[in-house]
Chain A
Amino acid sequence: MQPILTENKAMNTTNQTYVHPGLPDEEPILTVQDLSIDFHLRTHILHAVRNVSFNLCRGRTLALVGESGSGKSVTARGLMRINDPAARVASGNIFLDVEGKRIELNALGPNSPQIRAIRGRRIGLIFQEPMSSLSPVHTIGSQIVEVLQLHRHMSLAAAKTETIELLRQVEIADPTNMADRYTFEFSGGMRQRAMIAMALACNPDILIADEPTTALDVTTQAEILDLIKRLQVSRGMAMLLITHDLGIVAEVADEVAVMRYGRVLELGPVDAIFHDARHPYTKELLGSTVRLESGEANADETQRSEKPVLSVSGLTKVFGSNSAWFKKGSYALKAVDSASLDLYPGENLGIVGESGSGKTTLGRLILRTVEPTEGQVIFRPGDGSETDVTKLAKSELRQFHRHVRLVFQDPFSSLNPRMTVKQIIGDPLFVSGVARGKEMESRVGELMEMVGLDPAAMERYPHAFSGGQRQRIGIARSLALDPKIIIADEATSALDVSIRAQILDLLLDIQKRLNLSFIFISHDISVVRYFCDRVAVMHRGKIVEIGSAEQICNAPREDYTKALISAVPNPDPRNKRMLHRTRLTA
């Protein structure tokens, strides 16, 4: 990345926000004018937010959309003055309308009693990670009671009654008892509900939701968004929704502000942004958003004459003790429950499921980094031979690992930070003795070119690369030994939308050139739809449905698949899907 040191003032260009017509003209409750926030770092000043202006109106939702580092969270935190000390408001005004009076928020000290009266009381905040925003040592109820006592000066008894009422409003079953539970006794979705109850405790005029559903599964996400939307409408709150997911924006927002590198590039009604985008970046963002409706879908199930390259049958993994120590009632979890699937040469097989469905474990079982409890994995390298992977000895397993490679989810932890890119990509070549020295160097260069990296950068260390580039390095490493199969475990989940699209296209391109088979494990059905020919849906360790990507997405047979598919937010405001979804009751 080349930092821009000076603003280039080329002819006929503008860096001002493009504002679409059709924004609501009612009196805003919160006005942000020309807000700029700088971070004074050790070596330089980072202009995290630059000249941002927008209005929040009662009963309406403004979505701040952007990729990581776009300054959307900094903006939101700036409204509540809870940025970290390195951040300074360089210019601009924030006006909040409190019962007819305009209060200038940026004139208040970050720890002044006035701003503390506004935080929570006037502006409620929902964080991304409910586990770390809720105290682990207090009960859920007592945390909400505390807010009520502090801000609304309620008596303990009144606060308790109100807490139970709030928990009921956020649809927590049995609120009287659940109020006495601790954070760790709640599931992720329930924690987020409790967080919402806390944010709503003081009847705020404005709700700021910072990536409220990013940590949640897609079905839970749909429920939470549903809930937030309903509460917002019924209470007439203004909402500022911060998200990177255009699908959520289309489903929930009324107005959209697209942010990049601290600037709002485009601001307008949701329909205008999605169907009449003006800024090239907005167009690029929309273009790289993978849709459930469209996909490569290149292969047909009927034309399979070859034998599958990999056959998994009855693969089971039981975690926990069922040993002789505790004969009866022992705790055992079937992470993968007799999974069977075939992978054909040149095919992309997707495995989707929510967290805890066993999809990652299935991938690891095939590679035997986790030992299976039962079942078979037959590998056919294509020369007529067949090997049962589950019976291989350690040295034979090494041979198998040359043919079946893994691409990791986290591009940061999967590369050894103390080795150069050449050493990382060349490691499999070196270890297997395929190429060393000069020969290895030229092969590494080839691989880097194949994944779209400059071979001149091979002496660099991973920390010099961005997340997307690191993922390319990881892919190059997996390609080094001419594998037959690549297992990509959430290989694109840690990446930004536009980078994700690039990596997916890179993988598709490589697959066509090298005739590889992919097992693509992901929680994101849209990505799987885009990338895969066939999809296996996993739920609670079982494969509930296998079919072509088109069939799974358009005509799912199983109830679970239906619920899953319909919960995926649709990045088109004219065709909202999530709010009319099928709900699974199981």
Chain B
Amino acid sequence: MRCDIVLAGVGGQGLLSIAMIIGRTALGQGLHVKQSEVHGMAQRGGAVHSHLRLSDRAIASDLIQPGSADLLLAMEMMEALRHLPMLANHGTVLSNTATIRNIPDYPEEEALRHALLTHAEVTWVDAECLAREAGSPRAANIVLLGALSRLLPLEKDAFKEAIQTMFSRKGGKVVHQNLDAFARGRAVAT
């Protein structure tokens, strides 16, 4: 079993947090993990991505080769399009419907949607809306994690434990909101 995932987004969206949760969950289930991250200058509101590889056998490369990712999770629409060449033919795209327009020449939303759908089947997630429904607009990343979780070779309950561990410092209410956000995301990708 091997599962190669590309996570893409914009610095500040909480991409590394969900990569970390998946990594810890996989480790807890005895899988091998490689998870490449972007730190430093690149994190300041710029495009960020993480390559995440899970396998029951040793993994050689920290990076996924273009055209071979099983899953692409995009937290932002243009970032989905940027990383589309990473996807294998059989690959699946999960994309947030959000756009982050922090550059002057951001493309038209319709053009983005069209370009994406020309090349891949996309499951859309309105993560911001679902996060608000869960009571925490900041939990959009956990909504997306929920949506992705159904496609991963990992147990649902293990994610819940990882979420509890990650947010326990912030109190019971935040833990509850994030568990709710996770459940709402998970209900999207059926």
- Say whether A and B bind each other: no
Which B residues are within 8 Å of any A CB, using their own CB?
none
